[in-house]
Structure 1
């Protein structure tokens, strides 16, 4: 039995998230179907994490166990010919048996993109939240900096979270301008359900002057979802990279 790790990118617009569900199209189901077409195996892939409906990825990672003798370097080509056009396998590696794409992950980086233009960029419409109202980006950066470090992020996760605890570590978080696009990058050891989208929804209130930058620390310490702002739209969110202790 071999353990294969795969990096995959996908446009999440027409998916009901990464993880298999009873209803709706998911990335996991499409990939498992492609593997079955290729090898005849009924197997379950293990994702590095879940992405919600409408969320995209350039660097999602999953692994699976197979008895197929297909060389690791051939998996990407073989699967891409059997996958829909909105999922693309970028690379595949053979990894040790103990490798687990979620448990072995050490750092994940997400990006949330806001289109600040007066009119939306038509080519970014699936990947950026159009928000033409002026924003105080400097204040938003000050507020975002309050989240760096190890904290209990209960205020910034959905009330439907099933995690046993909400303590996470954010290693870095910053904004970057690219033309009319404003990107927020966050790197951490893990993220909670809707966490980045709630952070962005709250930061938009900071950008509008409805909240002060220092209110982000107060909201964090309050540990109540009701203290934070709304959940930002999913299509602006992208899983950029998952990092492991050793290169796969």
Structure 2
């Protein structure tokens, strides 16, 4: 069984999609849905089932995802403690336990929204990838001692860490129990780096507490360096995977086009090039993006070997993952030269090399 999104431990989902192979065809999938639910723990439920086309992969066939992140800036509601980040607790820790005033904890949602608008579009989001798992690492397991001995650290390319955010909004409400401020962040993109959504939430909270300005957050994004934003990721329990988008999702495609037009409206050749890149990626699935990156990595290694600059002795084979780790590329890391169609991708070779959440 394969899930569309690898959610963090402690996070939630009400829009997760999974696929698995079955033998034979059953007529009553509604009956099967009830049957599977009878074996699941109470916090997991199958909402519906359908047959997919041959070659469908719920992770690599997806075009984007929508997440929500919920937080509370007032007195914590104990009944919601598992589903919201209580910013109040972090504020008390930073204030060394001093009671202060609840107004000190309140978030400036308008300022947060201004900062959020600066994050929309196509960017290198290395700054918002959690440092505990470097961006571009994927699930690499094999160590290459030759690289480590020589102190060689693989280059983390901007292309591998580039994502498109099409929607990022913050809504505010009042708790019916405590009367405290509650904020919900909703974000949609064509993919997300490791803990990227939680880092976005943490960064916007810093803006809401006026520790960082919207311009400062934009500068940190442009730096494409994790050290440019020295904060911890927001805790996982406020995160919910709301929806996985697939080809033909009119709402998702319309948002991508709107972002491209907004970029093009800035004018100039750079804006036109960026808008074109966004439009080209409109119909790309996660599998096609991962395969394209693997092809580019294979071409770069081939060129380096031809110039006698293969890195490790004899030109090590493999796609460098991070900090002395290497993933065996094998036959082009799952895609042969000229294979452009989704069905031509060998997902078994790509799955552990894809770093998208």
Q: Which runs of 5+ in 1 are unaligned?
A: 1-44
Taking structure 2 as the reference length, what is the TM-score of the superposition?
0.54
Q: Which runs of 5+ in 2 are unaligned?
A: 89-104, 139-155, 175-180, 250-357
Q: State the Cα distance separating 1:92 from its structure 2 match.
A: 0.8
Does residue 170 of the first structure (1) align with residue 165 of the second (2)? yes
In proportion to residue count, which structure has more strand? Answer: 1
Max radius of gyration: which structure? 2
Does residue 88 of the first structure (1) align with residue 45 of the second (2)? yes
Taking structure 1 as the reference length, what is the TM-score of the superposition?
0.77
Q: State the Cα distance separating 1:246 from its structure 2 match.
A: 4.1
Aligned residues of 2:109 and 2:172 also touching (Cα < 8 A): no
Aligned mate of 1:131, from 87, 92, 96 = 87
Does residue 103 of the first structure (1) align with residue 75 of the second (2)? no
Aligned residues of 2:11 and 2:238 also touching (Cα < 8 A): yes
Counterpart residue number, 1:28: none
Counterpart residue number, 1:61: 17
Aligned residues of 1:144 and 1:216 also touching (Cα < 8 A): no
In proportion to residue count, which structure has more helix? Answer: 2
Q: State the Cα distance separating 1:76 from its structure 2 match.
A: 1.8
The list of structure 1 runs, each at least 4 consecutive aligned residues, that deviate by more than 4 angstroms after superposition, is none
Does residue 149 of the first structure (1) align with residue 121 of the second (2)? yes
Question: C-alpha root-mean-square deviation of aligned residues, in Å?
Answer: 1.5
1:142-167 deviations in Å (ceiling 9; x for gaps): 11111110111000002313247111
Counterpart residue number, 1:49: 5
Aligned residues of 1:197 and 1:233 also touching (Cα < 8 A): yes
Matched pairs, number: 202
Q: State the Cα distance separating 1:199 from its structure 2 match.
A: 1.1
Q: Distance in 2 between matches of 1:69 and 1:209?
A: 58
Q: Distance in 1 between matches of 2:76 and 2:13?
A: 21
Does residue 192 of the first structure (1) align with residue 149 of the second (2)? no
Q: Distance in 2 between matches of 1:241 and 1:230?
A: 25
1:106-158 deviations in Å (ceiling 9; x for gaps): 121000111122x2122211100112311111111111111110111000002
Q: State the Cα distance separating 1:68 from its structure 2 match.
A: 4.7
